[in-house]
Amino acid sequence: MNKIIEKQQLTDGVFRMTFESPLIASNRKAGQFLIIQLDKDYGERIPLTIADADAQKGTVTIIFQTVGKTTSDLSLLEPGDSIENVLGPLGTPTHIGKVGTVVCVGGGIGVAPLHPIVQAYKQAGNRVITIIGARNKNLLIMKEEMSRWSDELIICTDDGSYGRKALVTEPLKALCEEGAVDEVVAIGPPIMMKFCAETTRPFQVKTTVSLNTIMVDGTGMCGGCRVTVDNKIKFVCVDGPEFDGHLVDFDNMMLRQQSYKKQETKANHQCVIDKQAELLQKRDH
């Protein structure tokens, strides 16, 4: 189960991993995610979005960034190893319709979950304009895949090392001003999604965002992932992860993401120490 077929490092700390999971591969839809756990007794459960899947081969692809202990441990697994527990597909699939022109905006690692959505919008017969952004050239991922499914691809970097030197909100605003945007989907860091929503708000263009909150079970039984949408409590794992960006309380969401900062820092620190110890041991032998 969940045997890793392929692993590739995309950029610094960003990995693409493909593993066997026939059921998820054939049942997943755009916008859905997984919960992964590396050890049934002591491992934590973390949510990761599905970046791609191949129903014929029965494989699922994830793209993740090493931001803490679990993602670092995951990045150390090799083809032939298995991921102990994978639950999915989770979350409500993206509502894909034929609406006209859709602008898909992806920031950083958020480009990965955006990929199946871009693909689905294109296959539904929409004109798809994709904007992807990263801090610099080295952190840009999935340019080719995005270009394959987009009618137009706009690439931005914060430092101008590739594409336009701009934030993703700049081309987004320009497109809205041209008046030909029917829908927007934005996935990336919360602050980016918040500003994308603020950019489109005056134009009243429907803007969907995909929220990435703290989760435990991913099935709706704990409410750890709750967010306020339109002044009501919603669970990201069941009601989401996609919501109307104009109705999400991003400030509270960003606040709640810091809930375990202290423990996470400690775990990550410990994990770095462990890795260094491991390296030193290897060198000694």
Partner 1 sequence: MDISSLNAKSRMAIPQMDMPSQDPKVRAHNQEEVALGYSPVAAQVEAQRCLDCKNKPCVQGCPVGIDIPRFVKLAGEGKFQEAVDTIKESSLLPAICGRVCPQEVQCMAKCTVGKGLKDPMKSVAIGRIERFLADWERNRGAVQTPQCKPDTGKKVAIVGSGPAGLTAAADLRKQGHQVTVFEAFHKAGGVMIYGIPEFRLPKQIVEQEVANLRSMGVDFHMNYLVGRTNTIEALMTKEGFDAVFIGSGAGLPRFMSIPGENLIGVFSANEYLTRANLMKAYDKNHVDTPIYDSHKVAVLGGGNVAMDAARMALRLGAEQVNVIYRRTRQEMPARAEEIEHAMEEGINFHFLANPVEILGDDKGHVKAIKCQKYELGEPDSSGRRRPMPIEGSDFLLDMDTVIPALGNVANPLIRQTTNDLEVNKWGNIVVDEDNRTSIKGVYAGGDIVLGAATVILAMGEGRRAAAAIDKDFREKN
Residues 204, 205, 210, 214, Cα dihedral to 10°: -10
* Six token digits for residue 75: 């990045």
Beta carbon nearer to partner 1, 4 or 227: 227
Residues between 90 and 129 with contacts to partner 1, criterion CB under 8 A: 90
Provide, rounded to whole angstroms, the least separation between the CB of residue 273 and partner 1: 14
Contact yes or no for 32/50 (Cβ under 8 A):
yes
85 is a site residue for partner 1 (CB under 8 A): yes
Query: Which one among 13, 22, 58, 223 touches partner 1, defined by CB under 8 A?
Result: 223
183-187 and 206-210 strand pairing: parallel
Q: Which residue is associated with the tokens 């054939």?
A: 26
Distance between CA atoms of residues 148 and 230, nearest Å: 36
Does residue 267 bind partner 1 (CB under 8 A)? yes
Size of the site for partner 1 (CB under 8 A): 46
Bridge partners, residue 208, by sequence: 185, 244
Does residue number 246 form part of the binding site for partner 1 (CB under 8 A)? no
One character per residue 23-42, x = contact with partner 1 (rule: CB under 8 A): xx--x----x----x-xxxx
Tell me how far, at minimum, the Cβ of 138 lies from partner 1, in Å: 29
Rounded to whole angstroms, the Cα distance separating 55 from 34 reads 16
Closest CA to 105 of 1, 218, 197: 197
- Which residues sit at the interface with partner 1, rule CB under 8 A? 23-24, 27, 32, 37, 39-45, 69-70, 84-90, 216-217, 219-224, 226-228, 233, 235, 238, 249, 252, 255-256, 258-260, 262-264, 267
